[in-house]
Amino acid sequence: MFEIKPSRVASVKNDLLSGLTVALALVPEAVAFAFVAGVEPLVGLYAAFMVGLITACIGGRPGMISGATGALAVVMVALVADHGVEYLFATVVLMGVLQISAGLFKLGKFIRMVPHPVMLGFVNGLAIVIFLAQLGQFGVDGEPGWLEGTFMQGSIVDVAWLSGSALYMLVALVALTMFIIHMLPRLTTAVPSSLVAIVVVSLLVLGLDLDTRVVGDIASIKGGLPSFHIPSVPFNWDTLVIILPYACILAAIGLIESLLTLRLVDEITETRGRGNRECVAQGVANTATGLFGGMGGCAMIGQSMINVNSGGRGRLSGITAALSLLFFILFASHLIEQIPLAALIGVMFIVVIGTFEWSSFRVLRKVPRSDALVLVVVSGVTVATDLAVAVVVGVIMSALVFAWEHAKHVNVETREDHKGRTVYGVSGPLFFGSVTSFLEQFDPQQAKDDVVIDFAGSRVCDHSGLDAIDTLADRYLNAGKTLHLVHLSAECRKLLRKAGSLVEVNVIEDPQYFIAEDTLG
């Protein structure tokens, strides 16, 4: 007989219910991002379904939700406006191919180079973007997510806000939704509180015939199954010139957002996803989506947080969300269109509160000022431009700070050994940032005829370090003196051997270096 473990049953139940909750939240988001990109609502819905399903099945991070996102939509809008939606489909296919290549070449590991302050800035920036996107519902002609597109272009001053009873009704329903989500887990965790809140608020609006905006006021979500469709574009060099820049940008944004979201879910669930596998899955999903009339997508931090916080940790949750979304499109569009947008806004506000790293306010006072600056800048750039730019800016800032700090750590101590040679003991890394300080600490005129530079406490890291050694060689040779290098690590000797004639010194090998024996006596 088969015995079903209670924990397994609970896991399946949590995945199913959390997946359904995510699907309800996906509808207005997918429609909104389709509007931002300048395409039909079904183009966004098909992308949410296909990207979500494929990444849930073969992705590297169970429990993470993918679909159409605003970060990609704001890049797509210019392409659609200038060349049409068919060029968008072709771009999404090429975007997928580039992402598959990134996974096959194992480029996903480079996400480990993203410093923690950049990660915090990414999370905080996306939380702010999600919050601003929901504020669009408080405008007279607002649509979910419209503010995310217009805010970046400075159009926030043109907003016509709701007022009077319409505003009070919306605020009250949002507050009720948030109250239910916050309080229900104290009574029971048998069902996701977000799902209960959506159902309760929807029944309340329908039962009392309250006048408030619903999903159907945005656009109809009714449609059929997505059909295979090769993009109607000329397959020539001119087309490649048009779509390749967009495909590269979209592929980079999609992978960065997906891999950072993967890291975030890893931290919450205390498990480890597979970055390279996720790159391939995202690529396969986008290639397929472009061939079936979808706008492409990537991981969605908001929906992923809804899923994880609702108990969805397995692949079944993502599969349920995607299939539920397809069911809504095919059979239940008239019901989904009756869900008040206030309920979904409330769910997303809870996501914002849970996503934002409130502890970063305390951290700002304790970490180095440079790290605090990186955190703030990445948050601001994420809101003002897009995620890819923000992460690149943050990594560059962190790298420059790292180089500046370590450039001050190279020191040279001078002594004379028993053979009467001048010995310079170098400590600290020798790289592009430290070579100036390194060279300033040598004086050929004050040294003996025979000079030794001891690298036991140092390492030559790059070509700038090799060039610095070459410069020293020139100085000492011009002064009529001989220069030797000792205690070079295996990595340093490898660099020197590769450098060939670039290094004009006699390298003294030290085979007993790894047992820390001092050959200078």
Q: Which domains does the chain have, with CATH numbers?
A: 8-153+212-340 (no CATH), 408-515 (3.30.750.24)
- Strand order of the β-sheet with 422-430 is 411-416, 422-430, 450-460, 482-486, 506-507
Tell me the C-alpha distance between 452 and 455, whole Å: 10
**pLDDT band, residue 505 (cuts 50/70/90):** low
φ, ψ (nearest 5 deg) of residue 382: -60, -45
**pLDDT tens-place string over residues 277-288:** 999 999 999 999
Alpha carbon distances (Å) from 351 to 41, 435, 495: 24, 48, 50
Q: Which range in 216-225, 274-283, 412-421, 422-431 is most confidently predicted, on average pLDDT?
A: 274-283
The residue that leads in pLDDT, 301 or 203, is 203
Taking residues 299-306, what's their average pLDDT? 86
The residue that leads in pLDDT, 162 or 345, is 345
pLDDT given for residue 150 in this prediction: 35
Q: Name which of 53-57, 80-84, 318-322, 418-422 the model is least confident about.
A: 418-422
Tell me the C-alpha distance between 294 and 297, whole Å: 9
CA angle centred on 501, ends 495 and 506, rounded to 5°: 75
pLDDT given for residue 75 in this prediction: 81
- Which helix (H) or strand (E) segment holds residue 458: the answer is strand 450-460
pTM: 0.69
Q: What is the mean pLDDT of the chain?
A: 82
| Residue written as token pair 């397809």 | 326
Tell me the C-alpha distance between 345 and 171, whole Å: 10
Q: Name which of 49-53, 173-177, 489-493 the model is least confident about.
A: 489-493
SS3 content of the chain, % helix, strand, coil (to 5): 65, 10, 25
Taking residues 225-230, what's their average pLDDT? 91
CA angle centred on 276, ends 273 and 281, rounded to 5°: 90
- Which helix (H) or strand (E) segment holds residue 459: the answer is strand 450-460
| Residue written as token pair 């977000």 | 194
Tell me the C-alpha distance between 414 and 423, whole Å: 6
User: Where are any strands of DSSP class E within 350-417?
Assistant: 411-416
> 21-55: string of b/e by CB count within 10 Å (b at 16+)?
bbbbbbbbbbbbbbbbbbbbbbbbbbbbbbbbbbb
The answer, yes or no, to whether residue 91 has pLDDT greater than 90, is yes
pLDDT given for residue 502 in this prediction: 53
| Residue written as token pair 């217009």 | 150
The answer, yes or no, to whether residue 4 has pLDDT greater than 70, is no
User: Do 201 and 344 form a contact (C-beta atoms < 8 A)?
Assistant: no
Tell me the C-alpha distance between 296 and 93, whole Å: 8
φ, ψ (nearest 5 deg) of residue 66: -120, 155
To the nearest whole percent, how much of the chain has pLDDT over 70? 87
Chain-centre distance of CA 55, in angstroms? Answer: 16
Q: Which range in 27-36, 315-324, 459-468 is most confidently predicted, on average pLDDT?
A: 315-324
The answer, yes or no, to whether residue 144 has pLDDT greater than 60, is no
pLDDT given for residue 159 in this prediction: 54
pLDDT given for residue 517 in this prediction: 36
The residue that leads in pLDDT, 90 or 489, is 90
Helix 341-355 to helix 6-37 angle (10° resolution) is 110
The answer, yes or no, to whether residue 503 has pLDDT greater than 70, is no
Half-sphere exposure of 76 (CA within 13 A, CB side): 34
> Of 279, 356, 296, 259, nearest to 79 (Cα)?
296
Taking residues 101-118, what's their average pLDDT? 82
Could you say which DSSP state residue 455 is in? E
In three-state secondary structure terms, 343 is helix
Q: Name which of 108-112, 445-449, 496-500 the model is least confident about.
A: 496-500
**pLDDT band, residue 513 (cuts 50/70/90):** very low
